[in-house]
Amino acid sequence: MSAELYLIAPTDLPLDRLTTALQAALAEHEVAALLLPRGELPENAYKTLAKKLVPLAQAKGTAVLVEGDPGIVRLLGADGLHVRGDSKAVKAAVTALKPELIVGVGDIGSRDDAMGKGELGVDYILFGPLSGAISAQAREMAHWWAETMEVPSVLSDPEAGLAGYEAEGCEFIGLKLPVTEQVA
C-alpha cells in the first residue's frame, strides 16, 4: 500500500502564487489532504488565504485542514483542524468538531506524547515538521507508530519533494506544496 499525499502549503508566499501552485499540484496529483498552516499570518490574511484555497482543493476531492481554534473550521468551510498544542487543546478540538469534521495533531515530542494524544480520538497524528527537514527521531517515531497503532499517521518530510519520497509505512506522506519560481 502506498501512502496518500498530504500537502503542506507554505504561507509565506503571495496568494496568487499559492493559488497557481495548488492548481498545478491538484491537476497533476491525487491529493488526499491539504494543510494550511497559520504560520506568522495575521488573522485576516489567514482567513483570506483559506477562503481562496479551501474551495479550490475541495473541488478536487481534497480535504482541507486549517489551524487555530475549533470555531475557525466551520467559518472557513474547511474539513478539519490540525492542532499543534497540548492535550487540553486536542480534547477541546475533538469535543467541538468530532465526528463531523477531522481533527489531527502534530508537534509530537515522544512516543508517550503520541500515545496520549492518540487516545483522545484524533483522526491522524503527524510526525515531523511542517517545514524544513525531518529529524531521525521523528522519522523513527512515525515508523514505529505506523507498525503498532491504528490511528493513521502522517510522516511529514516537507523537503522530500513529490518524487522519491519514503513514507516509512505511514498512511500519509506530508510534503511541501511545490511552488515553481516565477520567471520575470
| Each residue's pLDDT tens digit, 79-94 | 999 999 899 999 999 9
pLDDT of residue 183: 44
The whole domain housing 148 covers: 4-176
On whether residue 32 sits in a domain, the answer given is: yes
On whether residue 131 sits in a domain, the answer given is: yes
On whether residue 183 sits in a domain, the answer given is: no
Residue 123: which of 84, 144, 99, 151 has the closest Cα?
151
Instruction: Give the model's confidence band at 23: pLDDT under 50 very low, under 70 low, under 90 confident, else very high.
Output: very high
pLDDT of residue 177: 95
What is the number of structural domains in the chain?
Answer: 1
On whether residue 143 sits in a domain, the answer given is: yes
- 107 φψ region: left (φ > 0), alpha (ψ -120 to 50), beta (else): left
On whether residue 182 sits in a domain, the answer given is: no
On whether residue 30 sits in a domain, the answer given is: yes
pLDDT of residue 56: 98
| CATH number (domain holding residue 167) | 3.20.20.70
Q: What stretch of H or E contains 103? A: strand 102-105
On whether residue 123 sits in a domain, the answer given is: yes
Query: Is pLDDT above 90 for 11?
Result: no
pTM, entire model:
0.95
